[in-house]
Structure 1
Amino acid sequence: MNIEDLQKLFCEFPLRRIAVLGDFFLDKYLEIDSGLLETSQETGRKAHQVVGVRRSPSAAGTVINNLAALGAGELYALGAIGDDGEGYDLHQGLRKLGCSTDGLLRCPEIRTPTSIKPTEIHIPGLQGEMHRYDVRNRHPTPQSVIAQLTSALTHILPRVDALIIMDQVEIQNTGVITSSMRDVLAELALRFPKVTFWADSRRNVRHFRNIIIKPNQFEAVGRFKPLPGDELDEKDLNPVVPRLRAETGATVFVTLGEKGIIVSDPKQLLIPGLKVTGPVDPTGAGDGATAGAVLTLASGGSVIDAAIVANLVAGVTVQQLGATGTATPAQVLAAFRQWQEQHGSLSFE
């Protein structure tokens, strides 16, 4: 890939139609001013004062945000959320990104997954974030919801270039991507071979079939609770990646943080990442990588092109501290020039 190839890809992005199926969350930031701290007269406890509220789509919504920033043409959200205020906020946030929410079901029997994040306004970045409060569904997703989503999928797939599947819920069968939905998706991937199917899953990545998967290095080996700063040696992944490729029957992308991405199609290659200096915030970097890779594949790029773009998008987003970052085509082009200086003329043949 050279700069002209990348620019040609970017010209294709506005023509692409991408659907995202999965677990849509709402991030709700409560901006707290510690200088206004009060004491409750009734209980004597501290009463933190909220001076602002920020809301944004997260989880599958983060992928939509990244796709929009990269200039994708048409975006469709498919999922199930609660018939509640958080669901309303989530709909509004997605529509502001130009995303259709016709396939985002409002279901009174479930809650809209929400991460409530109190943040001290006088402390910048991650250091200002306090303890998080999570609202999650902890009962199995009704099969009626899965049936409605299956119908929506069969309606939308003939109209899109790619389907991104975001399986973000760790309690089995309590999100949108249940075991029965994975069976449906395996069949649909065969029925619609012209559509790029891509799955990202925290716990169940090995259970997808006929679909490109993108685990991180720990998910690839089945290690779900890595500590900050942990890494795996590439030699530990070398025997794992081909097995994943054989099990799923499709291309595998394994992200290694700043080291880059291993691609198996079926030849196994390491595509190096963008080296960045200074503090980084990895929040949402994997979702940015997914958006960049899928848009590249849907636009006719190779798996190597997709891995390069994914690395570049992730490299841009991690430099945005205290926020779930995104990358524009202009930022990716600038990052590509840095990447070329760092790695020279690499050959992946």
Structure 2
Amino acid sequence: MNNKALIEILKSRKKPVITVFGDFCIDKYLYIDGALDEISLETGLTAYQVVKKKIYAGAGGTIVNNLCSLGAKVYCVGILGEDGDGYELEKCLKEVGADTSFMIHTEKRYTCAYEKPIRLEKDSEHEMNRIDIKNFSKTPMALQEKLIENIKAVAELSDGVIICDQFEEEDFAAVTSHIRKFLGNLARIYSSVVFYVDSRRYIDRFNNSILKCNEKEISKIFGIDAQVIDGDTALKYAELLYKKKHMPIYVTLGEYGSVLFDGNSHKIPPFPVKGPIDIVGAGDAFNAGAVFALTKGATYEEAAYVGSAASSIVIKQLKVTGTANLEDIIILLKNM
């Protein structure tokens, strides 16, 4: 790969317009001081005392954070509950410069949230059980049709569309079986737009889009043990998925880098990382970096290197939902 040519592509003046569609969450890091524990007079249970909060846009919001940091113009299309978390989430998206005018506000859904308590005790801290807020009923069809209307409106304005299918529950969030079918048709109509999908459970149900999954997700598709997935095995199954979908397949492998099958096999080595790491947001950073590069004119292989570089930067940011910027990615590419 000619990394000098790739760097020039990334530094070009073209500012890509990228839409993030799908599931948006709010990430809340709640810092609990163990020395301030109180016993509730009403229940006799320990009441934990939060002394600090850090709040970030998560899931699709993490992709947005990275895209804005890289320099893209970003539209957001998803669902916000009419609750405090919805207010906070939209505020986070606006603060990084994203356009939220196509987000849907509704009383019929909760804003999805990941609450991450972190207990502070003397000179140590550890993460406690996460508390999740999501929806456990089917997304009303009226909301689905409004989402379709909004993504259709912004697709024609976009160089790229990233679809974030975050949840394993079928039809309970923004990306439903009905919407997946529509997105496949939309990608076919707008063939010059980069359509790219990251899905926790349903990656093989999307059509006409670049597909990205990790080793666990691709192992579920083919009913194999994720422990046996290495670079060669990942390429084998990526090729099988490619033959079914006829679109490029990325598989990320954590510390072992990633692979790509686009008609040819590509192994993408990881960028070395020293010291402690936090893998939260690594996949979303890969997505943002890869699609940013593709909308700038990079090849599929070159985009994988940009995505990998973004991930390696994010995992060094501890106990935050991290972001990568273009300058740091270029430094890594120069030193390959």
Q: Give the TM-score range, shorter chain.
A: over 0.9
SS of equivalent residue, structure 1 residue 221: helix
In 2, Cα distance between the equivalents of 1:123 and 1:21? 42
Could you tell me whether the CA contact under 8 Å between 1:34 and 1:120 is conserved in 2? yes
Residue 48 (1) aligns with residue 48 (2): yes
Q: Could you tell me which amino acid in structure 2 is paired with residue 273 of structure 1?
A: P
In 2, Cα distance between the equivalents of 1:13 and 1:132? 42
In 2, Cα distance between the equivalents of 1:324 and 1:135? 18
**Structure 1 residues 304-323: aligned runs within 5 Å:** 304-323=301-320
**Structure 1 residues 4-83: aligned runs within 5 Å:** 4-12=4-12, 15-72=15-72, 74-83=73-82
Residue 281 (structure 1) aligns with: 278
Q: Which stretch of structure 1 is more off in the superposition, 321-330 or 280-289? A: 321-330
In 1, Cα distance between the equivalents of 2:251 and 2:313? 19
In 2, Cα distance between the equivalents of 1:225 and 1:56? 34
Could you tell me whether the CA contact under 8 Å between 1:124 and 1:322 is conserved in 2? no
In 2, Cα distance between the equivalents of 1:54 and 1:282? 17
Residue 293 (structure 1) aligns with: 290
Q: Could you tell me which amino acid in structure 1 is paired with residue 48 of structure 2?
A: H
Q: Which TM-score applies when normalising by structure 2?
A: 0.94
SS of equivalent residue, structure 1 residue 32: strand
Could you tell me whether the CA contact under 8 Å between 1:76 and 1:103 is conserved in 2? yes
Q: For each residue in 1:26-83, what CA deviation from the matched residue of structure 2 results, as whole angstroms up to 9, or x when unmatched?
A: 11222222222222223322121122222211011010011112121x1111011211
SS of equivalent residue, structure 2 residue 102: strand
Q: For each residue in 1:188-222, what CA deviation from the matched residue of structure 2 results, as whole angstroms up to 9, or x when unmatched?
A: 11110111000000000011111000011221121
Residue 98 (structure 1) aligns with: 97
**Cα deviation, residue 231, structure 1:** 6.0
Find 2:149's aligned residue among 139, 148, 151.
Answer: 151
Closer/same/farther in 2, CA of residues 53 and 13 from structure 1, 3 Å limit: farther
Q: For each residue in 1:306-327, what CA deviation from the matched residue of structure 2 results, as whole angstroms up to 9, or x when unmatched?
A: 0111111111111222222211
**Cα deviation, residue 124, structure 1:** 8.2
Task: Note the aligned Cα RMSD (angstroms).
Answer: 2.2
SS of equivalent residue, structure 1 residue 326: coil
Q: For each residue in 1:115-134, what CA deviation from the matched residue of structure 2 results, as whole angstroms up to 9, or x when unmatched?
A: 11222245789x52211111
* Structure 2: stretches of 5+ with no match in the other structure: none
In 2, Cα distance between the equivalents of 1:337 and 1:177? 38
Residue 345 (structure 1) aligns with: none
In 2, Cα distance between the equivalents of 1:76 and 1:155? 11
In 1, Cα distance between the equivalents of 2:14 and 2:36? 46
SS of equivalent residue, structure 2 residue 11: helix
**Cα deviation, residue 161, structure 1:** 0.4
**Structure 1 residues 206-245: aligned runs within 5 Å:** 206-222=204-220, 230=227, 232-245=229-242
Closer/same/farther in 2, CA of residues 308 and 130 from structure 1, 3 Å limit: same
Find 1:133's aligned residue among 126, 131, 134.
Answer: 131
**Cα deviation, residue 235, structure 1:** 3.4
Q: For each residue in 1:267-305, what CA deviation from the matched residue of structure 2 results, as whole angstroms up to 9, or x when unmatched?
A: 111121112222221111110000000000000001111
Could you tell me whether the CA contact under 8 Å between 1:81 and 1:104 is conserved in 2? yes
**Cα deviation, residue 242, structure 1:** 1.4
SS of equivalent residue, structure 1 residue 15: coil
Could you tell me whether the CA contact under 8 Å between 1:20 and 1:165 is conserved in 2? yes
**Cα deviation, residue 263, structure 1:** 1.1
**Cα deviation, residue 224, structure 1:** 11
In 2, Cα distance between the equivalents of 1:119 and 1:90? 20
In 1, Cα distance between the equivalents of 2:182 and 2:323? 31
Could you tell me whether the CA contact under 8 Å between 1:211 and 1:249 is conserved in 2? no
Residue 329 (structure 1) aligns with: 326
Q: Could you tell me which amino acid in structure 2 is paired with residue 287 of structure 1?
A: D
In 1, Cα distance between the equivalents of 2:194 and 2:248? 11
Residue 183 (structure 2) aligns with: 185
Could you tell me whether the CA contact under 8 Å between 1:137 and 1:175 is conserved in 2? yes
Could you tell me whether the CA contact under 8 Å between 2:38 and 2:48 is conserved in 1? yes
**Cα deviation, residue 248, structure 1:** 1.9
SS of equivalent residue, structure 1 residue 100: coil
In 2, Cα distance between the equivalents of 1:282 and 1:303? 23
In 2, Cα distance between the equivalents of 1:10 and 1:122? 44
* Structure 1: stretches of 5+ with no match in the other structure: 341-349
SS of equivalent residue, structure 2 residue 103: strand
In 1, Cα distance between the equivalents of 2:329 and 2:232? 30
Q: For each residue in 1:115-165, what CA deviation from the matched residue of structure 2 results, as whole angstroms up to 9, or x when unmatched?
A: 11222245789x522111111101111111111111111211111100000
Residue 267 (structure 1) aligns with: 264
